[in-house]
Structure 1
Amino acid sequence: MGPGCSAIAYGASEEIGPFKINKAGSNLFLNCFSWNTEANLLFLESPVGVGFSYTNTSSDLMESGDERTAQENLIFLINWMSRFPQYQYRDFYIAGESYAGHYVPQLAKKIHEYNKAFQKPIINLKGFMVGNPDMDKNNDKLGTITYWWSHAMISDATYNSILKNCNFTAERFSKECDSAIYNAAADFGDIDQYSIYTPKCRPQQQTNETTKFVQMHKTRRFLAEYDPCTEDYAEIYYNHPEVQRAMHANHTVIPYKWTACSDFVFDKWNWRDSDNSMLPIYKELIAAGLRIWVYSGDTDSVIPVTATRFSLSKLNLPVKTRWYPWYSGDQVGGRTEVYEGLTFVTIRGAGHEIPLLQPQSALILLRSFLAGKELPRSY
């Protein structure tokens, strides 16, 4: 996850971990679509300062960046494999979403370079996959604006104003561009931009009976288990002292509450470097023969499917298997196209956190990825 967000709060507790948190934030229940049914899972809080991760040198929190994060993640994995040698040499895959579109390929590159330096590397990297990922600054932003307009989130006037006034390759936006983006936010209305067709989380005291009925009706169209307030439950649960003791976390008893995301970690003044494009790394790792899958929930407007498609198109990869619908149970789960060296997948009806909204489809995605097989064409 990222930037500055906890893999424990989101990946482990909301999406793919063996347990989820109940609505009171007081207990756990089994996740029947957990990815640990298919593979051993290791959740990494990255970079330092995220979640319960910490440093004894406070200045470290002001010197984070892409390069440092990748290097520290590599060091962690080397040490972890040494500490648990029974996992050395097993097939190893990396997965992530959102700003992990930087973390995952950058770490994969570090591991690949580390492996080339040793005859018997202990990290047997086979591939990686990323969901709704940051990939390329210019194409991602252009694709995002296109998504907003094509999904009737913004007016024609706002769309044309953004295209006229915004230079997506610039270090800073102009005042005219900022104004156009501000107008776009007003056009959205009060929605969940990470999942544009599902209800937004509302504080319980603001929810009347009519709202409850509307939210229930909308939610059932997608998945009965979906709850837009899951992040709130995580922030309650991980602040329980008994939970922290069980996790051997927060021994120093910090004077503030644990939060799912830390804005300070990715503060623009503290983050030292953020590569404009991951595409050169993709080219390098495709040439190295790694298995690479890029997937996208098609109802996310923050890093939408159009942004990912614009970015992938710049790789100019030959098509191996042309676009086709794949199935999750007896319904279309999404669409996919297989290129030479990379597989692209969409997940129908899923937002930014795909396993939260479409857990069955996400599990089918994982199984196909690990097996190195194309997604099912029928039910």
Structure 2
Amino acid sequence: MPVLEKSLFLFLFISSFAMDTARGFEPNSQREADRVTALPGQPEVEFRHYAGYVRISDDKALFYWFFEAKRKPDEKPLILWLNGGPGCSSVAYGAAQELGPFLVRSNAPNLTLNPYSWNKVANLLFLEAPVGVGFSYTNRSSDLEEVGDRITAQDSHSFLLDWFNKFPNFKSHEFFIAGESYAGHYVPQLAELIHEGNKKASKDSYINLRGFMIGNAVLNDATDQLGMVEYAWSHAIISDELHASLRRECNSFEGAGEGKACLPAVKAFLRAFQDIDMYSIYSPVCLSSLSKSPRSNKLVAAPHLFSQHETWHGMRRATAGYDPCTEDYVKRYFNREDVQLALHANVTHLSYPYSSCSEIIRRWNDSPPTVLPILKKLMKAGLRVWVYSGDTDARVPVTSTRYSVNEMRLRQKGGERKKRWGGWRAWYYREEVAGWVVEYEEGLTLATVRGAGHQVPLFAPDRALALLSHFLGDQPLASSRFG
């Protein structure tokens, strides 16, 4: 190495060491090996970010992307973000399209800096789980036949324990989990594992879990299905006759047995959404994708009655705000060799291309019909629980979320007004109604986000960040326009 280059290398190394020491961080060789320094198209930023693998067994490794908070990361909480599917990537969706600091917004080589990134208020960790999702991999093909809710939660928990060993300076930080869609299963199931593990944990393995927040979340099959039907009818997507047939023949989805006409009615229901985006009913669809060959039968979150139909699996997922083709741009970006090299990804040279949702997981082995008992258990244990809903989503619509939350028979806050009209009220952001909210004595907050689709941080990034800030601060959402 020439003398000048060697001197520059030493200067940068010492400067990095000094910066870590000044912030109270002990330099960690494992962590520094994962530091991302030359991501193609990345704008200049002052915060650090890291990406790479955490091995959770001899055969399995899960991929992560971690962003320090923009300011004072040593003082900020840590959030783990999970996307659902099941089988969809938190990097391809959460990080690159929704709430990460660098967004893929076109086919252009440069990334867009997100002014509403969640790392403005927290340290932000994205995980691709289970194996077979994104860059996460296994050396045993049989592992791909075993995935389901249980394995996903166990592997994610193992990942966290090992990740904290790689980033020990974050062990004492307040820790929260957030996610959307089928993460309505992932998030509380992982939180329960952490909660139970903490009861017998040593100081080194204790995780400082304080709560979780889930958006447009799959929670309870019966009420989720009923809510989908009611939302489609109330938004003029299905006819009076089809609505009546679904309610009658499917026994209002209460598990009392299905009539002969239930399955044909469900097929007709799904066909009603084929020409629009079910995940954001007022958004355009990506026309360039319509001319391509049909997509393969990917796993998409659905209650059992809907998911048994091929029509369901071919439906488009949430599109990306003002440009509905963003998912295509994201796949192209993460399939670039220079991007993978910068992110320390695809080190085993996977035999399949990167995809937003797994193309190699063919079966999901276990998915309980409800997670409501877990929510009640963790609220009773004192964890902060917020559930939010973008109100233009027809996949897990606000009607489903309200029906599901009502199943828990919680007690609303609201004082004297609540006795007559309930605790439901508007919440405000920048002097406009941002949505509606109700709080419960047991520790749950249910909020809607006005005009947002399934991916709330994508469609309403400013209000999503405001929602997060109030959640982290354990503060009620603004109750007046000028307050």
Q: TM-score, normalised to structure 2's length?
A: 0.71
Report the CA distance between 1:119 and its aligned residue. 5.7
Paired residue type of 2:182: Y
Report the CA distance between 1:173 and its aligned residue. 6.9
Q: Is the 8 A contact 1:154 1:188 kept in 2?
A: no
Q: Is the 8 A contact 2:289 2:325 kept in 1?
A: no
**Alignment equivalent of 2:407, drawn from 314, 319, 339:** 314
Paired residue type of 1:319: Q
Alignment of 1:224-303 (within 5 A): 226-265=322-361, 267=362, 270-303=363-396
Report the CA distance between 1:330 and its aligned residue. 2.6
Equivalents in 1 of 2:452, 2:229: separation in Å?
A: 19
Question: Does residue 122 of structure 1 match 2:215?
Answer: no
Q: Is the 8 A contact 1:102 1:278 kept in 2?
A: yes
**Alignment equivalent of 2:215, drawn from 110, 131, 139:** 131
Question: Does residue 77 of structure 1 match 2:160?
Answer: yes
Report the CA distance between 1:188 and its aligned residue. 3.6
Alignment of 1:133-212 (within 5 A): 133-166=217-250, 168=253, 176-188=261-273, 190-203=275-288
Equivalents in 2 of 1:293, 1:282: separation in Å?
A: 10
Deviations 1:285-335 (A, max 9, x none): 010000000000000000000000000001111111321111121321100
Report the CA distance between 1:200 and its aligned residue. 1.4
Report the CA distance between 1:245 and its aligned residue. 1.1
Structure 1 partner of 2:36: none
Q: State how many pairs are aligned.
A: 359
Q: TM-score, normalised to structure 1's length?
A: 0.90
Structure 1 partner of 2:144: 61
Structure 1 partner of 2:461: 359
**Alignment equivalent of 2:117, drawn from 1, 16, 34:** 34
Q: Is the 8 A contact 1:27 1:237 kept in 2?
A: no
Paired residue type of 2:433: V
Question: Does residue 339 of structure 1 match 2:420?
Answer: no
Structure 2 partner of 1:48: 131
Instruction: Describe the SS at the equivalent of 1:226.
Output: coil
Structure with the bigger RCO (C-alpha within 8 Å, sep 6+) is 1
Structure 2 partner of 1:112: 195
- Structure 1 alignment gaps of length 5 or more: 207-223
Report the CA distance between 1:170 and its aligned residue. 5.5
Q: Please, what is the CA RMSD of the aligned residues?
A: 2.0
What is the aligned-residue identity percentage? 52
Question: Does residue 11 of structure 1 match 2:107?
Answer: no
Equivalents in 2 of 1:104, 1:337: separation in Å?
A: 21
Distance 1:240 1:263, change over 3 A: closer
Which deviates more from structure 2 when the two are superposed, residues 272-281 or residues 162-171? 162-171
Report the CA distance between 1:252 and its aligned residue. 2.9
Q: Is the 8 A contact 2:222 2:255 kept in 1?
A: no
Q: Is the 8 A contact 1:70 1:106 kept in 2?
A: yes
Distance 1:56 1:189, change over 3 A: closer
Which deviates more from structure 2 when the two are superposed, residues 177-186 or residues 308-317? 177-186
Equivalents in 2 of 1:60, 1:176: separation in Å?
A: 38
Equivalents in 2 of 1:160, 1:204: separation in Å?
A: 34
Q: Is the 8 A contact 1:20 1:29 kept in 2?
A: yes
Q: Is the 8 A contact 1:25 1:237 kept in 2?
A: no
Distance 1:263 1:145, change over 3 A: farther
- Structure 2 alignment gaps of length 5 or more: 1-82, 292-319, 415-422
